[in-house]
Structure 1
Amino acid sequence: MTRFKTNSICTSGEIGEFCRFSFSRMKKMLLFVLFLSGLPPLSTNILREYHYVNMSKTWAEAQSYCREMFTDLATVRNKADNNRLLSVVHGRGKRAWIGLRDDLTKWKWVLGNAGFSNDTDFSNWSSHKLTNNKVTRICAAMSKYGFWYAHTCWQKHAAVCYYAKAPSRYILVRDLMTWSQARQYCVSKYTDLVSVRNMSENNQITSLLSRRTWIGLHRYYWSPWSNQSPRTFTNWNTGQPYNPDDYRVLCAKVNTTTGTWLAADCEEKHRFVCEKVRIRQKATFKLKFQSEADLKDPAAQRQVLEQLHAKLEKHGLPDFTLHWMQTDGQTFHKEQQTTKEEGSGG
C-alpha cells in the first residue's frame, strides 16, 4: 500500500476521531484509513450584510422587523463598516434608522453590575443636569446633602467604598481620584464602590460626607448597540448628538447622502437599515491516507470529500464546506518511508 498525505480546509471538523471510509472505484472496493493530525483551532470570520428597508417605522418597530427578517438593526463597528453602510443607503434621499439608542434613564451599579432605572429604582438626583453628552461615560457623585450629581468620570473626588465583610460597611476614602481610580481602589482594598438602594442607605452615607464623593453608579452614552455589542465607533454630524427638547430616549439615524449620524426622537418614522450576520469558521488540517487507489484521480478525490462530508453530517456538525488545498501544484504527496537494512552477522 502507498501512503499519501495532503491538506484540507473545512469550516468545522471532527477532532481526534479516526474515521473509516470505503469507496468504490472501477467496481473494486478499497478500504483506507483517514485520520486528522495537528488540527488548529477554528478561525472565525463575521460577515455583516446591510439591507436598506424602504418602509417608514419607529425605531422600536424597525428593530422588531430587522430581528424577525434579518439579524438586527445595523451595527457600525468602524469606518469600514460605515463606508459599506453608506454604499447601501447612498442616494436614497431619506434618513434611516441604525441600531444605536440612548436611554437617559438607564444606568448601572458596579456592585453586581446591577441595572438601574430612574423610572423604577430609588434615586436622589439634584435638579442639576449634565449637558455634555459628547463624553463617553458619566458617573454619579453624592453631595454632603445627600443629592446625586452626574459628572464626567475624569473629575477627581473622594469616594465611598462598600465592604461586605465589615460591620460598618461604608468606608470613606478622602483621597481625590477619578471615578475609575476610585473604583480600582475600592475593589483592591474592600468590595467595590458603594450602591445606594433606599433613603436609609442614602442617609447613612451622607453622614460620612463633607464634599461631593463618588458612588458606584455610571452609564455609557449611546451604548450598547441593538445587538448588545459595545459602541466603539461614531460618525456624528457636526453639533450632534443634540437633545434640544430634553428627550429621555434618543435614537440614531443616518443621513443617506453624507453617511453622518443624527440623534432623533425614537417615535419619529423613518426608513431603516438592517444587518444580516453570518459567522464563518475555517480550519486547515492534514490528512493521511493508506490506499491502493490512485488518489491523484480527481474523481477519487471528489469521492473522498463526499464520504467525509457525509460522515461529518452524520455527527451533527452545522453547515460547512470542504475542499482540497494544493502544495507545489499537487493535492497528494507520497510519504517518504525509511527502510532499515539488516546488517550481516559475523
Structure 2
Amino acid sequence: MNKTLLFVLILSGLSALSTSILRGHRYIKILKTWAEAQTYCREKFIDLATINNQDDNDRLQRVLKDPGTFAWIGLQDDETRWKWAMGNADFNINTDFSNWRLSEPNNLGSKQNCCQVNVLTEWFDFPCTDLRASICYDARDPSKYISVDTFMTWYDAKTYCRTKHTDLLTVWNKSVNDLIATLPERRHWMGLHRQPWAYWSDKIPTTFTNWDSGQPDNEGSTESCTAVDTTTGKWLDMDCEKKYYFVCQDEIQHQTTLKLKFQSETDLNDPAVQQQILEQLQTHMAEHELPHVKLRWIEKDEQTFHKQQKMMREEEPASDSSLCEGRPEHPKT
C-alpha cells in the first residue's frame, strides 16, 4: 500500500465526549505555615494544590518526596462561614449577630456543623445527626415561632419545618434571640449550619477527598488545614500554624476527548496512515490559531478505528470512527 496518503479523507462527524482539567503540581521543600505556603504559591505559581478527582490525586502522589513528613495542600475548613437554612442566607461568625456560648463553636471531632440554642438563648455547635426538638418559623402564623417537641436530626427538622411551616428559625438580631427564652425549656435546633471543608484555596468547590482513617478529627479544636502524608499519600487535618513543606498548583491544562468519523478505502488502523491524519489535523488547527494543541489517538480493544455498523450503498466506502484526545501544549520559554 502506498504510504503517501492515497485515500480521500472525508471528516463526516466530530463530537466532544469529555473535557477534563489537568493540574500540574510542584513540591516545594521550604518550611512554611499553611497561610505562608498559600502566599508563596500564589506569588510563584497559581495557588496551593487543588485535588478534585482521582487523576489529580495520582499526579499529587507522583511529586511527593521526603517520606515520613507532611506537605500542605490547598484544602482548608473555613469555620467562619455558616448559612441559614431559610433562603440559604450567608452568616459570618465574625460580623453578624450571634450569641455563642463561651468557647463555642468548637467543632469537636470535626463533626459539629449544626447549631442548637438553649433556654438561656446561648448557641452551641453540635453534630447534625443529634436528636433534638426544634424551632420553626412560620410567616403565616401570628406567633411566628413554633416549638416542635418531637426529637429529630437537624436535617429532619429542616424538612419538617419546610413542610408544615416556612423553615427552621433564623435569628437575625437580639430581639428574635430573646424570644427563644419564652419557649419550652430545652435545647432546640435552629437554622444555622455549615458545610465543612467546602472549598479549596482557589475557591473551587470540594468534590474529592482522600482522608486518612479517623480524619479529619480537629484534635484540640485547632486543626482546619490539610496536609498530605508524604509516605502514604493520605490526608490529615493539621494546625495551620505548623510548618511543613507544601505542594503548589502549576499550569492548568484542559484536555478534551473527541470522536471523529472518517470515510476511506484505506486501512485506517495502519500506524503510518494514522500519523498522516494527525499531521493533517495538527496543520488544520495551527491554521485556526491553535498551534499548541497536542493530539493523540486513544486505543480501544487494541484498535484506534472501529467500523460503524450501518447499511450503505455498495459504492460508498466504509465509515470508521475513532477517539482523539487533545490538550494544550504550552510553548517553553
Q: Same fold (TM over 0.5)?
A: yes
Flag structure 1 segments of 5+ consecutive residues without an equivalent: 1-23, 340-346
Q: Residue 138 of structure 1 is aligned with which of 98, 113, 116? A: 113
Q: Residue 13 of structure 2 is aligned with which of 32, 36, 43? A: 36
Does residue 253 of the first structure (1) align with residue 227 of the second (2)?
A: yes
Does residue 337 of the first structure (1) align with residue 292 of the second (2)?
A: no
The answer for the alignment partner of 1:123 in structure 2 is 98
- Paired amino acid for 2:218: P
- Paired amino acid for 1:157: R
**Distance across 2 between alignment mates of 1:94 and 1:328:** 42
Higher RCO (C-alpha under 8 Å, 6+ residues apart): 1
Q: Is the 8 A contact 2:9 2:262 kept in 1?
A: no
- Paired amino acid for 2:262: L
Q: Report deviation, 1:147.
A: 1.5
* Residues 1:165 and 1:232: Cα distance change in structure 2 (over 3 Å): farther
Q: Report deviation, 1:278.
A: 3.9
Q: Residue 162 of structure 1 is aligned with which of 116, 134, 137? A: 137
The answer for the alignment partner of 2:187 in structure 1 is 212
Q: Is the 8 A contact 1:140 1:148 kept in 2?
A: yes
1:269-288 equivalences in 2 (<5 Å)? 269-276=243-250, 277-288=252-263
* Residues 1:137 and 1:48: Cα distance change in structure 2 (over 3 Å): farther
**Distance across 1 between alignment mates of 2:33 and 2:153:** 39
The answer for the alignment partner of 1:14 in structure 2 is none
Task: Report the structure number with the largest CA radius of gyration.
Answer: 1
Q: Report deviation, 1:84.
A: 6.2
* Residues 1:71 and 1:83: Cα distance change in structure 2 (over 3 Å): same
The answer for the alignment partner of 2:218 in structure 1 is 241
**Distance across 2 between alignment mates of 1:232 and 1:313:** 39
Q: Residue 122 of structure 2 is aligned with which of 129, 133, 147? A: 147
User: Deviations 1:112-132 (Å, cap 9, x if unpaired)?
Assistant: 333323221110112364766
**Distance across 1 between alignment mates of 2:75 and 2:298:** 42
The answer for the alignment partner of 1:185 in structure 2 is 160
1:72-111 equivalences in 2 (<5 Å)? 72-75=47-50, 85=60, 88-91=63-66, 94-111=69-86
Q: Report deviation, 1:273.
A: 1.4
The answer for the alignment partner of 1:321 in structure 2 is 295
The answer for the alignment partner of 1:60 in structure 2 is 35
- Paired amino acid for 2:189: W
**Distance across 2 between alignment mates of 1:200 and 1:336:** 78
**Distance across 2 between alignment mates of 1:284 and 1:266:** 46
Q: Residue 174 of structure 1 is aligned with which of 149, 152, 159? A: 149
Q: Report deviation, 1:329.
A: 7.1
**Distance across 2 between alignment mates of 1:226 and 1:250:** 12
Q: Is the 8 A contact 1:295 1:332 kept in 2?
A: no
Q: Is the 8 A contact 1:158 1:213 kept in 2?
A: yes
Q: Which 10-residue stretch deviates more, 143-152 or 111-120?
A: 111-120
Q: RMSD in angstroms over aligned alpha carbons? A: 4.4
**% identical aligned pairs:** 39
**Distance across 2 between alignment mates of 1:262 and 1:298:** 47
Q: Is the 8 A contact 2:215 2:235 kept in 1?
A: no
Q: Is the 8 A contact 1:35 1:287 kept in 2?
A: yes
**Distance across 2 between alignment mates of 1:332 and 1:146:** 69
Does residue 198 of the first structure (1) align with residue 177 of the second (2)?
A: no
The answer for the alignment partner of 2:240 in structure 1 is 266
Q: TM-score, normalised by structure 1?
A: 0.67
Q: TM-score, normalised by structure 2?
A: 0.69
**Distance across 2 between alignment mates of 1:192 and 1:269:** 44
Q: Is the 8 A contact 1:78 1:233 kept in 2?
A: no
- Paired amino acid for 2:11: L
Q: Is the 8 A contact 1:141 1:212 kept in 2?
A: yes
Q: Is the 8 A contact 2:112 2:126 kept in 1?
A: no
Flag structure 2 segments of 5+ consecutive residues without an equivalent: 316-333
**Count of residues paired in the alignment:** 305
* Residues 1:221 and 1:111: Cα distance change in structure 2 (over 3 Å): same
Q: Report deviation, 1:331.
A: 5.7
Q: Report deviation, 1:48.
A: 4.5
* Residues 1:45 and 1:170: Cα distance change in structure 2 (over 3 Å): same
- Paired amino acid for 1:217: L
User: Deviations 1:182-204 (Å, cap 9, x if unpaired)?
Assistant: 11222334443222111012123
Q: Report deviation, 1:180.
A: 0.9
Q: Residue 229 of structure 1 is aligned with which of 192, 196, 205? A: 205
